[in-house]
């Protein structure tokens, strides 16, 4: 399907709400190569839209979403049951090396971290360097 139309791997990424089992199945049927489950706690584009539009509609979605471990396990299970190979990346709300370890232990191929490091950088490069060392 999708992969036949293009010559590069296709990555599907959620943005802060988590990819549920049903969506993961549809992505696998479309032959997506990599799924980033992007669970709650990560970049929340509804909240970004709320800040951009300055209205209250999107604010109700500020705490919306599925905790990262849940869609990770659901996507891994769907992939196992379907027999379709897929790499699953876990991102969303990752704030420590222990979070990374847990998600990798659950079966994530990789873990994405952005917000924690960006917030650290806003406090200064030395703080960021300290946080990176703590992660390791």
Host domain of residue 39? 2-135
Mean pLDDT for the chain? 91
Q: Which of 66, 63, 46 is nearest to 55 (CA)?
A: 46
> pLDDT tens digits for 18-74?
999 999 999 999 889 999 999 998 888 778 887 888 777 777 777 789 999 999 999
Provide the CATH number for the domain around residue 58: 3.20.20.70
Number of domains in the chain: 1
How many alpha carbons lie under 13 Å from residue 136 in its C-beta half-sphere? 5
Structure tokens at 22: 């049903």
pTM over 0.75: yes
């Amino acid at each position: 399907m999708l992969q036949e139309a293009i010559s590069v791997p296709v990555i599907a990424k959620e943005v802060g709400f988590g990819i549920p089992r049903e969506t993961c199945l549809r992505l696998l049927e479309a032959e997506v190569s990599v799924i980033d489950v992007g669970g709650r706690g990560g970049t929340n584009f509804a909240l970004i839209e709320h800040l951009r539009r300055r209205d209250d509609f999107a604010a109700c979605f500020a705490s919306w979403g599925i905790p990262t471990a849940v869609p990770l396990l659901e996507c891994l299970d769907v992939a196992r049951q379907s027999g379709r190979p897929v790499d699953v990346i876990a991102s969303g709300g990752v704030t420590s090396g222990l979070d990374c370890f847990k998600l990798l232990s659950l079966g994530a191929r990789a873990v994405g971290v952005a917000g924690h490091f960006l917030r650290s950088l806003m406090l200064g490069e030395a703080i960021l360097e300290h946080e990176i060392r703590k992660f390791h």
